[in-house]
Chain A
Amino acid sequence: MLKRHGEQTVIFSKPVGIVAASSVVGPKEGEGPLGGRFDLVENGLMFETRSWEAAESKFAKTAVNLCSCKAEIPVGDFEYIIAGDLLNQSTGSIFGLRDTNRPYLGIFGACSAMGEGLSIGGMLIDGGFAQKVMIVASSHFCSAEKQFRFPLEFGSQRPPTSSWTVTGAAAAALTAGGKGPALMGCTTGKIVDMGVKDAHNMGAAMAGAAADTIAAHFRDLGRNPSYYDAIITGDLGHVGQELLLQMLSREGFEIASRHRDCGIEIFDKDTQGTLNGGSGCACSGVVFAAYFYEEMKRGKYNKILFVPTGALMSPTSVQQGESIPGIAHAVIIENWS
């Protein structure tokens, strides 16, 4: 059976079960609209470590342990752990996972890490190379500010288009078979550069990639937006959402009624001062784990297209005047019995 469809999409020969998903977040996320849904809200940004970076790693480690417990699969039984974060050389993931003693695949797709990880994990299982795979994505507001912007206590005003990096980590356990929410396939995104140079407008930098991937997904499979109960992007925020809907409309796809964005869902922009919305690898990860995954299990959604989005820049590339390329990886998740 041919698994590849069109230019960018694969459909697995058998659904890959998502048997558990865990979320750990920081205090600001805990005060947000989804606060009561996360597995753990840690009130200290330092998470009882000595640096922001170590704290991010501890978030990742905690998400792994929680996911392992929820899936009732010991960490030692996972054949691969795939993880991504925003820090240089992926140290958030590496130091969080160094004690797991499991085969590790580090990925970088900026904030699209959860989508990239689920895609690769699904293919590993569907290809018969593994039975149990865990995906981890983490980010930390303070470590991201330190690396990409200014020291935390430096005073500066944020423009209204800027995003707020989510502090936390999410993990998902994939197994061959199982019932409930399952991965059916994925559409791997291309690097799409719309020429946006403003590092304070990530939503605009990524919206082009999201539109490109979603349009490619529909064309590859000959599907319409109405096939899905919800089409969920990662962290486009309010600006990116508006741009995405406009671009897809020009392509002939109207998704406004079923579009959700994790960056919009996680914070209340009116009371939390988060401007364009949440961002970071953890943003799509924790909103998926705490909200959409749970709502699928309850039957509110049966078919979703989950499209984490990432901005593929570094502080150096921005300073050198390069524009900001975006990426978006779509995964099909359906309830399976």
Chain B
Amino acid sequence: MKTNRQHYDQMVKKASPNSKLGLNCFKAFIVGGLICVLGQFLYGLFESWGATNDQAATYVAITLIFSAVLLTGIGKFDDLVNFAGAGAAVPITGFANAMASPAIEFKKEGYIFGVGAKMFLIAGPVIVYGTLASMLVGIVYFFIQR
């Protein structure tokens, strides 16, 4: 064919529409912000019910995780992310969805090799590299302290 790979690469770039970056950022900002406002509201609510700061923070995390898993279970969370992108995926709600969705999907393959093994399919790398990063920070902190 007369079209070579280099030229084709240019053609593909020209023919392929890009994501609407500005609009996506705006939607992520609004929804992500609303999730944080909800978290702050819950924090205040738990405090007013007599929880300490630490307890209130924990209860907020539990409530948001439960909500995200519930929405995942009834098939609505992916619609929310499809609309809001990182606004819903980056907060703790996204992590909860990343754990719950493979657990639901791979239940058909059983509780050991399905749910147990595949549950970390998406969240696994976050845990691995999150732990690694915190270790590195810990080492740096150790030397700065001395």
Contacts and interface: CB of A to CB of B under 8 A. Distances in A.
Interface stretch (A3-11, A24-32, A77-85, A146-154): A146-154
A204 interface: yes
Nearest to A51: B108
B8 interface: yes
Given A155-B78, A250-B3, A251-B2, A194 B101 contact: no
A208 B122 contact: no
Contacts of B122: 150-151, 154
Interface residues of A, number: 31
B75 A242 contact: no
Interface in B14-30: 15-19, 24
B101 A151 contact: yes
Main secondary structure of the interface of B (DSSP, over half): helix
Contacts of A242: 15
Main secondary structure of the interface of A (DSSP, over half): loop
Contacts, number: 104
Contact of B11 (A50, A161, A243): A243
Nearest to B12: A204
Contacts of B98: 154
Question: Which of A156, A204, A242, A247: most chain B CB closer than 10 A?
Answer: A156
B16 A204 contact: yes
Nearest to A250: B2
Contacts of B80: 155
B65 interface: no
A103 interface: no
A201 B12 CA distance: 9
Given A157-B24, A243-B11, A152 B3 contact: no
B82 to A, nearest CB: 6
Interface string A111-139: 00000000000000000000000000000
Contacts of A247: 1-3, 8, 11
B43 interface: no
Contact of B15 (A158, A194, A211, A239): A239
B28 to A, nearest CB: 9
Nearest to B9: A195
A212 interface: yes
A204 B105 contact: no
A152 B101 contact: yes
A162 B5 CA distance: 21
8 contacts: A50-B108, A152-B78, A155-B78, A155-B101, A157-B81, A204-B16, A211-B3, A250-B3
Interface of B: 1-3, 5, 8-9, 11-12, 15-19, 24, 72-73, 75, 77-78, 80-82, 85, 88-89, 94, 97-98, 100-102, 104-106, 108, 121-122
Given A151-B102, A151-B106, A155-B89, 8 more contacts: A153-B97, A153-B101, A155-B80, A201-B16, A204-B15, A211-B1, A246-B11, A247-B8
